[in-house]
Amino acid sequence: MRIPGNDGNLWVAAAYISGAGFLLAMYIVVGFLSARWLTERFDGPNYWVAIGAITGLVLGIVNIFVLIKKFLGAQNG
């Protein structure tokens, strides 16, 4: 379980994990803010905000899965 150029440093793994959490939070916030903007712009219903936040959550989870797959692929190589 090594990353090329990592030399077994656990801090790099910790950075990947904290980066994944930050990405997830940013996806949720961006989804929320963009849905709120669309709601105000087009005078839409308030549930658009919930849909935007959930969409951001789903996209963030997909991004984390891709990040984990990339991270584990780097360890196997």
Q: What is the mean pLDDT of residues 45-54?
A: 96
Contact call for residues 49 and 32 (beta carbons, < 8 A): yes
The whole-angstrom separation of Cα 50 and Cα 46 is: 8
Range of the domain at 64: 19-74
Q: Is residue 39 part of a domain?
A: yes
Q: Is residue 52 part of a domain?
A: yes
* The pLDDT value given to residue 50: 97
Q: What is the mean pLDDT of residues 25-45?
A: 96
1 — pLDDT class (breaks 50, 70, 90): very low
| Higher local confidence (pLDDT), 76 or 12 | 12
| Higher local confidence (pLDDT), 18 or 54 | 54
Considering its fold, how many domains does the chain have in total? 1
* The pLDDT value given to residue 68: 82
